[in-house]
A = this chain, B = another copy of it.
Amino acid sequence: MHKTIQLTPDATRCSTCMLNSLCIPVGMPAGDIETLDQIVKERLRVSKGSFVYHQDDEGTALYGIRSGSVKTQLEDASGQVQVTGFLLPGEVVGIDGYLGARHMTHAIAMEDTELCVVPIQDVERITTMLPALSRQLRRLTSQEILRSQQLIMSLGVMRSEQRLAAFLLNLSQRLGALGYSPREFILRMSREEIGNHLGLTLETVSRLFSRFARDNLIRIRQREVQLLDMEMLHQLTGSDCE
């Protein structure tokens, strides 16, 4: 389910948003953020399981996640799916549609999610006037590529336990940056989604969680995770430094 909300003048805007140290405005001068306020005129509410956009949709906007979480996934001609990322509040989805004409992935809400809509048309219009914004877009794009590279590294060279350890630490780090506890959090995604993301089966993910728990690296109860030995997890990640 989708619901668009027009922002009233007194609503929270970029310049007053708690997430503006993470989202699109990072490091932009205050004046520029106010210009951004002008073009972010609506929010989108997407209920759990619904699409923010589909693969091959025309890219019409960037979406800053205000609350909730989103997964992005690729689908190939034969319907095979690969989850390419899990996005948290303060992170931006839809840059692929800004770079090319169309979105290269599906974006799906993992829980009821609220997104700030930044129309691409407006971005293009003001980007020439605001060098800070175009710098920012490049930075976001760069992050997007970095994320891809990390996933490639994970899928290409890591073994299952390394992948999962790296995944947990990555989530932990990002949640920490959001002000949540980096040691204790709720997984918003199922074992199957994690497995698909990491190129593993849900059974393997489940077994690894159990093993990590047995080795006192983590505690896990359903989707509630507690990282007990981040040092050791980190070592697992880099693994055979021989």
Interface of A toward B, CB cutoff 8 Å: 74, 76-82, 84, 96, 98-100, 104-105, 128, 138-139, 141-142, 144-146, 148-149, 151-153, 155-157, 196, 199, 238-241
Contacts and interface: CB of A to CB of B under 8 A. Distances in A.
By secondary structure, the A interface counts as helix
Contact of A76 (B84, B98, B153, B196): B153
B78 A152 contact: no
Contact of A78 (B79, B96, B240): B240
Identical copies of this chain, number: 2
B74 A139 contact: no
Contacts of A74: 149, 152-153
A155 B157 CA distance: 10
A152 B155 contact: yes
Contact of A151 (B138, B144, B152): B152
Nearest to A128: B128
A199 B82 contact: no
Contacts of A241: 78-79
